[in-house]
Amino acid sequence: MPELPEVETVRTDIAPVLEGARITGAAIDDPRLVRPFAPEIVAAELVGERIQAVERRGKYLVVRFDSGRVLLIHLRMTGSLRHARSGMLADDPHRRAVLKLDNGSDVAYRDVRRFGTWELLEADELVGYLATRLGPEPLGAMSAARLGRRLAGRRAPLKAALLDQRTLAGLGNIYVDEALWYARLNPLRPAGGLDVEELRRLNRGIRKALRLGIERQGASLRDYSRPDGESGGMQDEFRVYGRDGMRCGRCRTVIAKTRIGGRGTHYCPRCQPELEVSVVA
């Protein structure tokens, strides 16, 4: 599933194609993409809009139009965007929508499992829509103290609390596992029980994992690829995710896998102990 670094990579790739262009044609072939609205009605609303900016908030792509309206695209499990010169998109059985632009480009949305969504919001709806669903951006003005306030009083395991988009926006299964390894924190620790030093490590670990993901243009596993069809390289940087049975790069202990909140969770039992061992100086 695309997480913050993958969505940011898609945004970086697709923004130059979309920004400044006017939509001259729109075809939405999958009613699930825009339900409860009828695909032909949403498509008709999009035609004529000029794209001012393509931004990201959490795992959402935020396509802002000159009119003030916003198209919120969520890729969910397997959604992706492709672009090509007009009429040059390759055949694709998983294509769900195509936008034709006045700059001679076609932009296609494909989605194998069809969980992705397109939501067209009016100008005054965006802030409220996002505020109820998303916490702050982890790469924005985030500090250990602010992170501590967001986790305070929570008994849920760290892993579960960080997957909750209302804690921080944009983290998913891959980057939470990676961040907790960098932070040397066990994923089962109660989220509200970290001390100041641990919160500092967690804040740094989250930023490190996400920045590396952006730098490597996302992780290409199964269905994620970039709008130009290229792959990301983050899968080569994984320290624990998908590496159960292999050795930790820091201490050579065999990486373990467990399930937390139904999600496969990878960690080093030695670097990320469940209980803090007090060290006598």
Nearest approach, Cβ of residue 276 and Zn ion (Å):
15
* Residues 174-193 within binding reach of Zn ion (CB under 5 A): none
Contact call for residue 155 and Zn ion (CB under 5 A): no
Using the rule CB under 5 A, which residue among 81, 161, 248, 260 binds Zn ion?
A: 248
Question: Residue 92 CB: number of other CB atoms within 10 A?
Answer: 11
Using the rule CB under 5 A, which residue among 114, 258, 270, 273 binds Zn ion?
A: 270
Contact call for residue 250 and Zn ion (CB under 5 A): yes
Q: Provide the total of helices (H) and of strands (E) in the chain, helices listed first.
A: 8, 10
Put residue 242 in one of left, alpha, beta given phi > 0 → left and psi -120 to 50 → alpha.
left
Q: Is 59 a catalytic residue?
A: yes
For Zn ion, the closer CB: 38 or 251:
251
Q: Based on C-alpha coordinates, what's the Rg of the chain?
A: 20
Instruction: Give bridge partners of residue 263 from the DSSP assignment.
Output: 260
Nearest approach, Cβ of residue 137 and Zn ion (Å):
29
Contact call for residue 251 and Zn ion (CB under 5 A): yes
From the candidates 95, 207, 263, 270, give the one annotated as an active-site residue. 263
Contact call for residue 254 and Zn ion (CB under 5 A): no
For Zn ion, the closer CB: 145 or 251:
251
- Contact residues for 215 (Cβ-Cβ < 8 A; gap 6+): none
* Residue 117, φ and ψ in degrees, nearest 5: -135, 145
- Contact residues for 281 (Cβ-Cβ < 8 A; gap 6+): none
Binding site for Zn ion (CB under 5 A): 248, 250-251, 253, 268, 270-271
